[in-house]
Structure 1
């Protein structure tokens, strides 16, 4: 354990010196804000694997739970331990980022509000962890040879249900949402944009982010009859109409190309492959207890997610490029489009052209510079 802590501490220090002093940051801001965001991401990247490996190899840290008589109590206690260790290991980095964001002016949220969100997030994380490991254990005990495929089939409708209810019940726990009102200065322009693309059942929502941040954003969420485009109020107040319309054209591109469905479907395929692989592994393992088996499964799952994450990020970036191309093809004057991405980068003080290896391991979107270059290329063609 001591060697692991020393190795991880050395890794964090090296990451800090590299990103703070040597990383070639390309940003509209003079601060090293974008570089520090990279540092925090990569500093946290191996934490879950380290925690689970350390706990699994030091079984005394959790096998005392077997004194509880019921499986329910044992897995509930294990989930609490995992969530608490996870929160404590992440908290110094999250607090650092919160304080830095306040200092740089990208965040306006109070500490009380922020810590409240952290606690809600951890409660939801506990519910998820407990549900998954308890349910998995039931399936393993009942169908030891075929538990993986059975569990996946059982979870299939639940996954779509979660995607459906997330914007209704989960997201409002953290932010205030309301439909775009007819009295809003952007209502007419946005309605005309939707009508021009012959779309129906598109709900536009505004989320009140100005009480927390100064950055801009918009996104698509929901499935079936609950699909919605969510616009941050900071963006609606800070961007010109033409700039907002380009951003919403991008989001409508996600809507038209059914990226939410495609992304959810691909993720479920990945989960199926993971379940089948774990099912194959457990048929070969001979763990002494159900808790040791659970810890080993969690460790393997975390490693698999770490390995496959670049693939998930690649798919996400390709969807964003597809939505960009859609927005470009449905925008006459591309000058505001260029300015919209510059505004996004200025407000967030982000790294506009991350190194290729950073994009590989971290980026869900193409770099701002790539997106601007693409628009300028199409603008030149027009």
Structure 2
């Protein structure tokens, strides 16, 4: 069975690598062609730069994926996992503390291993193409804050979860799922007010002449205009973006200051209408519900598998603590989930299409959203020629050329 699991993982790894290589080859063939409707905004020089940026990121991502996969396989199958587990258990801590420490140390180790890749991506690739504006000091501060937040949140969740296992050996899967669901909601509620401000400065949109347009657009949607903010993303990158965050009364739409600088007022309102579409269509709520439903099934399955007692043997290991068994279970889960990756991507693209449709109806001019997307593709050096298979498997948004074509057809 150990050999079978290894082969299954290598198959998923190979499939992902082949899709990546297919995407690279497709870009090399078609990357110099300016798509219809992008003329006048994107020229040959921008396309060449975008192709080079995509290829650099893809090649570097390939190296990072191979490194991470090698570390994972060695840890799970070459002996370090049971040795590490025995060391943790030998510290003489309670099951709750030892289980929590087990994963907090692994998270710290993973963060340290990721540092060289993050540094290269930020200060070499992003800098090479004129995107990076982040100083080394700010990068280090972000790293430390991000790690500290992750350790605190994960520590609280793990300690609570392992305590529930101690208190209810037969129904911990149900109470554990309830803790996970409640904790997820709690983080989504506090994130806009507690976590995100640790990295960005939020303030009302200040672009001249835009305030009245935002108020009118939000009023037509039946929403409060005070929930639209801009952030100082330019302190870290020249990339432009917008996103929807929070749930319930803490919902907000966030626009990058870099996006506000480069788009016209009408284009910004069209982008805002798209984000309002996610809000009105309740996409985050629906995804959250689906996630929690799948998590419930996952918790119950984990309960049955751990109760079965054969999980360590699947990996050629004699014995593992309760806490340590979740690591091979997560590995098994990744194998099960992999074939559903394109399904998740399709559902996300469907949501994006619905948000585009809502934006057209609310804003009233599909061309404004189309022109905004063209400019964002130019400024972010987006890949305008992804391979269809790669896009279908991984893309959470429709390819920008396809998206612009649909919007302009909508406006005719």
Q: Same fold (TM over 0.5)?
A: yes
How many residues align? The count is 372
Which of 269, 277, 282 is the matching residue for 1:245? 269
Q: 1:276 to 1:310 in 2, by over 3 A?
A: farther
Q: Give CA-to-partner distance per residue, 1:161-202, whole Å, 9 cap, x none.
A: 111111111111211112335x84311111111123333476
Q: Return the alpha-carbon distance in structure 2 between the equivalents of residues 358 and 90 of structure 1.
A: 25
Q: Return the alpha-carbon distance in structure 2 between the equivalents of residues 293 and 337 of structure 1.
A: 48
Q: 1:85 to 1:47 in 2, by over 3 A?
A: farther
In the TM superposition, 1:116-195 aligns within 5 A as: 116-180=141-205, 184-195=208-219
Q: Return the alpha-carbon distance in structure 2 between the equivalents of residues 146 and 90 of structure 1.
A: 37
Q: 1:316 to 1:232 in 2, by over 3 A?
A: same
* Distance apart, 1:344 and its partner CA: 0.8
1:271 is matched with which residue?
Answer: 295
- Which consecutive residues of structure 2, in runs of 5 or more, have no partner in the other structure? 1-5, 33-45, 313-318
Q: 1:124 to 1:310 in 2, by over 3 A?
A: farther
Greater mean alpha carbon deviation, residues 340-349 or residues 20-29? 20-29
Question: Does residue 56 of the first structure (1) align with residue 76 of the second (2)?
Answer: yes
- Which consecutive residues of structure 1, in runs of 5 or more, have no partner in the other structure? none
Greater mean alpha carbon deviation, residues 307-316 or residues 149-158? 307-316
Q: Residue 156 of structure 1 contacts residue 268 of structure 1 at CA under 8 Å; is this kept in 2?
A: yes
2:331 is matched with which residue?
Answer: 299
1:65 is matched with which residue?
Answer: 88
Q: Return the alpha-carbon distance in structure 1 between the equivalents of residues 165 and 338 of structure 2.
A: 24
Q: Residue 190 of structure 1 contacts residue 245 of structure 1 at CA under 8 Å; is this kept in 2?
A: yes
Q: Give CA-to-partner distance per residue, 1:321-368, whole Å, 9 cap, x none.
A: 110111122343333322100111111111123223322443221111
Greater mean alpha carbon deviation, residues 270-279 or residues 233-242? 270-279
Task: Tell me the TM-score normalized by structure 1.
Answer: 0.86
Q: 1:62 to 1:357 in 2, by over 3 A?
A: farther
Greater mean alpha carbon deviation, residues 307-316 or residues 234-243? 307-316
Question: Does residue 29 of the first structure (1) align with residue 47 of the second (2)?
Answer: yes
Q: Residue 26 of structure 2 contacts residue 386 of structure 2 at CA under 8 Å; is this kept in 1?
A: no
* Local SS of the residue matching 2:48: coil
Q: Residue 366 of structure 2 contacts residue 411 of structure 2 at CA under 8 Å; is this kept in 1?
A: yes
Q: Give CA-to-partner distance per residue, 1:251-307, whole Å, 9 cap, x none.
A: 111111111211211111121121122122112125533344243334334445545
